[in-house]
Amino acid sequence: MKNRMVILGVFLAFGFCAQAQKYFTRDARVQFNSDTPVEKIEAVNKSGTSVLDTKTGRMDWKVLIKNFLFEKALMQEHFNENYMESTKYPNATFKGSITNLSDVNFAKDGTYKVTAKGTMTIHGVEQEISVPGTLTVGGGMVKVTADFVVKPADYKIDIPGVVRDNIAKEIAVTIDASLKPMGK
Amino acid sequence: MLKKILLFLVVAGVLGAGIGYYMFNKKVPSMASEKSEVAIDAAQLYQEFETDEAAASAKYVGKIVAVSGAVLESSTLEDGTPKVLLDTGSDFGVSCEFDPNTKHAKTTFAPGEKLTLKGECAGINLDVQLARCVVVE
């Protein structure tokens, strides 16, 4: 009897894993680095949200600008007030889809190279982008990592002449998120 | 006389550069030393964002807000950052990420525990999010 319950439990657990269609996190880590000979700037956001639909490949990402943490107070202030205008544009989003969804088997543990294509909105400006990333399926979770570059000029982020040499023309962005089946 | 003026200019220059350097390198201060501008219930804060995001953003984003409510979930991120989700009676809550520049006396809380946290309101991202939080005694 006990054995049967265990078997039933295992079946239920597997059934649940296989059926989970939407994965979700509210703890996505989004980090960026601006590296110039004059200055190194680094900030991290640990409260990004992400929803992934494994059936359609649809992905929605969102971070609040005010939740980017810097080491230096002045950098955090300039970032929010002068560059990102975070009270006017409180968030940045990416809404898109995985273009090679058929390469991913969400029922099988493994690492899959993917490309996400969609609309990135930063500072109220929309841009169509295509980003390479990695999905790691394991332990009932989907881990998403990606590295890409954002150019402030593409999003009408104006950097004044005096500090132009302090801020990189290309900002390196790193995404790291572990998505759990929705509904816990 | 000229010497005195020169000396004054040099001293002023050095002082100015010193203050500038200090300001430039100043770390983000601990939230514990900041005063809250608004005190509100978690459910009410969420309700305001849910009803009218633009109005609530204008009212709260960038402000230091003290939020009271019952703990729905208490967790720790991989890098050690504690987070508390306050119950709002709806699907989403008020998410409070703990301040990295403060030594916290307590970082894990039992579900249902009543708590007041103070932090900078960042807006709504499924949950209403508060940055750099500390527990208010």
CATH homologous superfamily of B31-135 equals Nucleic acid-binding proteins (2.40.50.140)
pLDDT in tens, A80-103: 999 999 988 999 999 999 999 999
How far from A139 is each of A19, A28, A143, CA to CA, in Å? 14, 18, 10
Give the pLDDT confidence of A20-29 residue by residue, as tens digits: 799 999 999 9
Query: Domains in chain A: how many in total?
Result: 1
pLDDT band of A156, cuts 50, 70, 90: very high
Contact: B28, A72; criterion CB under 8 Å: yes
Residue of B63, B98, B125, B132 to mutate, testing the A interface (most A Cβ within 10 Å of its Cβ): B125
Token pair for B32: 């514990």
Q: What parts of chain B have a pLDDT lower than 70?
A: none
User: For A109-129, what is each residue's pLDDT tens digit?
Assistant: 999 999 999 999 999 999 999
Contacts of B95 in chain A (CB under 8 A): 26, 47
Round to whole Å and give the CA distance between B10 and A5: 84
pLDDT at B20: 81
Q: State yes or no: pLDDT of A181 exceeds 90.
A: yes
pTM of the model as a whole: 0.86
Let me know if residue A13 belongs to a domain.
Answer: no
Beta bridge partners of A179: A142
Query: Of the candidates B129, B35, B137, which has an alpha carbon nearest to the alpha carbon of residue B83?
Result: B129
Distance between CA atoms of A35 and A41, rounded to whole angstroms? 6
Average pLDDT for residues A28-36, to the nearest whole number? 94
Supply the pLDDT for residue A164: 83
Q: Using an 8 Å CB-CB cutoff, list chain B residues near A73.
A: 26-29
User: How many CB atoms within 10 Å of residue B51?
Assistant: 9
Q: What is the pLDDT of residue A118?
A: 97
Report angle CA A28, A85, B26 to the nearest 5 degrees. 80
The range of the structural domain enclosing residue A174 comes to: 21-181
Q: Is B126 exposed, middle or buried (0-12, 13-18, 19+ CB in 10 A)?
A: middle
Q: What pLDDT was estimated at residue A6?
A: 58
Q: Which residues on A lie below 8 Å from B129 (Cβ)? A: 47, 64, 67
Residue A145 lies in a domain: yes
DSSP notation for A17-78: HHH--EEEEEEEEEEEEEE-SS-EEEEEEEEEEEEEETTT-EEEEEEEGGG-B-SBHHHHHH
Residue B83 makes CB contacts below 8 A (sequence gap 6+) with A27, A47, B74, B75, B76, B77, B95, B96, B97, B98
Q: In terms of pLDDT, which residue wins out, A38 or A175?
A: A175
- Cα separation values, A136 from A12, A133, A173, A176, Å: 23, 10, 19, 11
According to the model, what pLDDT value does residue A2 have? 55
Residue A146 has pLDDT above 90, yes or no: yes
Cα-only R_g, chain B: 21
Give me the amino acid identity at A91. N
All structural domains of chain B with their residue ranges: 31-135
Specify the range with the lowest mean pLDDT, choosing from A4-8, A116-120, A144-148, B41-45: A4-8
**CB within 8 A of A173, min separation 6: which ones?**
A30, A31, A32, A147, A148, A149, A150
Measured CA to CA, the distance from residue A169 to residue A35 in angstroms comes to 9
Q: How many residues does chain B have?
A: 137
Mean pLDDT score of chain A, rounded to an integer?
89
Domain harbouring A111, CATH code? 2.40.128.110
Contact B121 A65 (CB under 8 A): no
Residue from the list B25, B26, B122 with its beta carbon closest to the beta carbon of A66: B122
**What pLDDT is recorded for position A38?**
86
